[in-house]
Amino acid sequence: MNGLRIFAIGGVISYRALFAWASPGIYIPTMLGSTLFQILFFAYMGRFAELRDDAYFVVGNAIQISAMSGIYGMAMTIGGERWQGTLSPLLVSPANRLPLFLGRMVPQIANGLIVSAFGFVMSRLLLDFHPPLSSLPALAVVVLVSATACTCFGAMFGAIGLRARDIFVMANIIYFSMLLFCGVNVPPDTLPRWMEAVGRVLPLTHGIEAGREIAAGASLGDVGGLVGTEALVGAVYAALGFALFRYFEFEGRRRATLEIL
């Protein structure tokens, strides 16, 4: 029961602290405005170049945008604690580290779902994107798995924030690199072999492919392999992130370097 309280209450408090400075006037253009304009930009660029239809770019970008909260949110959860000087009091507590670690991921997953859902809704209103209504539950499952995998990936880099000097620069590089490596706007099989190979071990790649097939009329069972692979990728990064979190915590205690920036 105590672990459940740490998981739920700790995660909510961490998220509230992370965005304590935010107001709707900041959240809306940052999280929702950027989502809308990213989708519109690539959809209209695709129309101009006559490469793909709107649905191709809508699905790719609406799922990819969930990485914004997953990557930046998790990086800021750890990096922000270091900058604010609250990391040492947190880690000196006897709280179980697993619910402490996982609880900080759930609000970021929920935020990623909200942002992706907003992208899909606005695309249906403004673009030529009209998937069958029967596909929406399956598409929601794909977005959930993809957002979770992205958050697990971000958790790994958040753990590196216990040691790295500037995790925010790394988060920027990773987030924008995923636009290219994960097949968001460019089919993975048209990329150089090494880039395609890197994309296959990153989150989003398999989720975006599954989302496009579902939007085209496939069922969730038809893309079960892709969804399972996406979930497996996320689980591997979550395990690696927790292992790094514990290792850097131990090393930080031993070397007294937890808050050295």
pLDDT of residue 86: 67
Place of tokens 């975006």: 208
Distance of alpha carbon 26 from the chain centroid: 20
Mean pLDDT value across residues 159-171: 77
pLDDT category at 200 given cuts 50, 70, 90 is very high
pLDDT of residue 6: 59
pLDDT at residue 206 tops 90: yes
Mean pLDDT value across residues 62-75: 86
What percentage of the chain has pLDDT greater than the value 70?
Answer: 79
Whether the CB-CB separation of 115 and 31 falls below 8 Å is answered with yes
pLDDT category at 19 given cuts 50, 70, 90 is low
pLDDT at residue 89 tops 90: no
Whether the CB-CB separation of 72 and 167 falls below 8 Å is answered with no
Comparing 30 with 179, which gets the higher pLDDT?
179
Burial of 166 (0-12, 13-18, 19+ CB in 10 A): exposed
Give the pair of three-digit tokens for residue 168. 């925010």
Whether the CB-CB separation of 199 and 182 falls below 8 Å is answered with yes
pLDDT of residue 240: 92
Whether the CB-CB separation of 44 and 61 falls below 8 Å is answered with no
Mean pLDDT value across residues 194-208: 93
Give the pair of three-digit tokens for residue 38. 């990213």
Helix ranges, 97-164 (H) = 97-103, 106-126, 136-160
* Amino acid code (one letter) for 224: G
Whether the CB-CB separation of 223 and 214 falls below 8 Å is answered with yes
The number of helix segments (H) and strand segments (E) in the chain equals: 14, 0
Q: Three-class SS of residue 44?
A: helix
pLDDT of residue 79: 65
Measured between alpha carbons, how far is residue 10 from residues 15, 95, 241 in Å?
A: 9, 10, 18
What value does the mean pLDDT of the chain take? Answer: 83
Mean pLDDT value across residues 27-51: 86
Q: How far apart are CA 182 and CA 184, in angstroms?
A: 6
pLDDT of residue 258: 64
pLDDT of residue 227: 94
pLDDT of residue 115: 92
- Mean pLDDT lowest among 14-28, 160-174, 178-192: 14-28
Q: How far apart are CA 36 and CA 72, in angstroms?
A: 18
Q: ∠180-186-189 over CA atoms, to 5°?
A: 100
Comparing 17 with 29, which gets the higher pLDDT?
29
pLDDT category at 223 given cuts 50, 70, 90 is very high
Give the pair of three-digit tokens for residue 245. 């979190």
Q: How far apart are CA 78 and CA 195, in angstroms?
A: 29
